[in-house]
Structure 1
Amino acid sequence: MTGRRPVVTGLGVVAPTGIGAAEHWAATLAGELRVRRIEAFDPGGYPTTLAGQLTGFRPEEHVDERLLVQTDRWTWTALAAARLALADAGYDPADQDPYATSVILGSGSGGNEFGQREIQALWTRGRRAVGAYQSIAWFYAASTGQISIRHGTKGPSGVLVSDAAGGLDSLGWACRVIRRGTPAVLAGGTEAPISPYALTCQITGRRLTAATDPRDGYKPFDRRASGHVPGEGGAVLLVEDAAAAARRGARGYGEIAGHAATHDAHGFEDPALDGRQYARAMERALAAAGAAPGEVDLVVADGAGSPDLDAAEARALRRVFGEYGVPVTAPQGLVGRLCAGGSALSAATALLAMRHGTLPPIGNLDDPDPAYRLDLVREPRPARVGTVLVCARGHGGFNSALVLRHAGDGP
């Protein structure tokens, strides 16, 4: 990337591992499994009964009461995460020109819980029982819009829809917006896909585990991997032009040095298992960052938790880095797959690894499959973390890769 340098100055985390970056990081290093039986409804009639769920999240602490009734839970988490990111960065959009701040998020499932409730009202009580907010609360761009309204931002804004790759893609677009002259962008994503309707939709993807014990659930790169569990939450990051951040004395977590996205163009239901387009996304992201594979200190992998998808990812990583060529982690085994929120959370985790000089372990990994021939991080590993590659894949063939570099490294 050339020209303006995008740096991350604020992290807002709302995840099963904690509310706030500090809680999330501590739980991740401790390997605390935050997957449990679904509590929002009785999942007994579904083939999947486990999910990563928020603990200690009180929406009223982050969202005005009048807005709570107009929006879905996924928007509540996005509003909370954005607020935390701004506070972490010491950045108040109200102190800036309205056009100086943008909001660009990834989105996957939208406001499904709100939508299900209104559809039920329609079919049980008739059209007059459907509220006016149904027209906007479910919409996949609702969180972007509500954050913009709440903070009075008028910079170029949008939403990326590429399933689990969306969080990284939103950060890539944030870099483009900054290079075009907007000083600050809120980017990332959150999800709340734990409702009967949302779970039914996810079951059709045939990738959810049938395990009933959380320890047997989502297990990236494990011999006993049997699919993933859904999860709620994610992360919103404040990305700023490095010069603008320096003028106000902000400390950056790291620079977004490169991003690339590819598509398998293989088939919606059956993913390409050769890993070639996935590896191409990694190579292009590294090239955009001007980084060689040997400079990467850590890969935060997609870690799908299905044997065939994990094998395809291992194949792609070996193509880029060689066998055992780079430490690989996937902490999301602790929280489930958070769709677009998951890759945003992975980016936040990577930046925390840089700041604390520690490689976080893979979540819920007990018996690594040696066939993958990867250097899988089993325990927290002290290390100098100057460059991290974060990877994500979305259902339907989306691939995304993001290179993060320590703010003091590189040219």
Structure 2
Amino acid sequence: MITKDIKKRFPILNQQVNGHPLVYLDSGATSQKPDVVIEAVKRYYENDNSNVHRGVHTLGNRATDEYEGARQKVADFINASSVQEVIFTRGTTTSINTVAQSYGRANVSEGDEIVITMMEHHSNIIPWQQLAKETGATLKYIDLEDDGTLSLDKVEETITEKTKIVSVMYVSNVLGTKNPIKEIAEIAHRHGAVMVIDGAQAAPHLKVDVQDLDCDFFAFSGHKMCAPTGIGVLYGKKALLEDMEPVEFGGEMIDFVGLYESTWKELPWKFEGGTPIIAGAIGLGAAIDFLQEIGLDNIDRHEKHLAAYAMEKMSEIDGLTIYGPADPDLRAGIVTFNLDGVHPHDVATVLDMNGIAVRAGHHCAQPLMKRLGATATARASFYVYNTEEDVDRLADGLRIAKEYFSDVIH
């Protein structure tokens, strides 16, 4: 069970914003960092700061042990079959681009198909748009149901024998929808396609087992799961990664360099050119320890409860539209909404003046906004440190915003 005391583990939350205690409801954009993660990064810089792999001195060895220890924690966290399947990147965007540029360019040709959905984040749209343009492949979209879910019948209709790549987000960053990823992977594999999962909104909140999902690639970011910014992960099945070429070249990823030819290190290092994000990886390892101590199942239950509570409270406000599945079992801890006649940026500004942080805009999902018939929305996203009291503050803030703009309009 997650208690209110957990908020004390996050130093940044102990402050006032615009004269009010901070209520942080923007974890979908980036999560706050607990004391243990801050301390782990600080400890590395104070005691062990050195480059990894290259040196034989004590600091170098300690830094390498911590960096590679973090990789083992990631492998265990997602149940990868080997640490060789865990590539450290700058984040989900870099991870998906790596798959598109390395696997995609080698395996997708004119006449082939790439399949994604209408709910994808721009980071899981643009790399595939570019790949389609480069190769002459066709980019196809699986449409949504009116409640913001995916129909497996439509998945079956869209994926064909020409499909080479299927790339779908596990959890929507706008709708909160939890997609049937395992079933989609099975359909993709039945047609000979590889399955790429954008796990940015899933890894921080749900127990992930890449072997059970049978995905070929899984991408996620550390900063959304209590870790520092600038660190992320690309998981890939070992056989696929071994056949792929690196997309960045230089130091650290090489085995032998001659005047005209070079060879690469073995996995996972051939994909990690240059000095890696050492402190970020160590911070990610500490974040994983923290989340596993709480329990991912407990986190999922907590957020599902908060989302259901928020939808109940917000539904009492006339003129407020909530997007995404009405069934709390089908969504994660994200509630996206609009107030009639009020731009979401204005809503977010009034909330901020009351110490409540939410996100407003198109959420890097412009095709989805068009599908929803909205130019922008406001979004509250919950995490381990949020409480029912935070939701109550949100509902009160929305009433203030509605009353304020009602007075302004009239």
* TM score, norm. by length of structure 2: 0.25
| Larger proportion of helix | 2
Larger Rg: 2
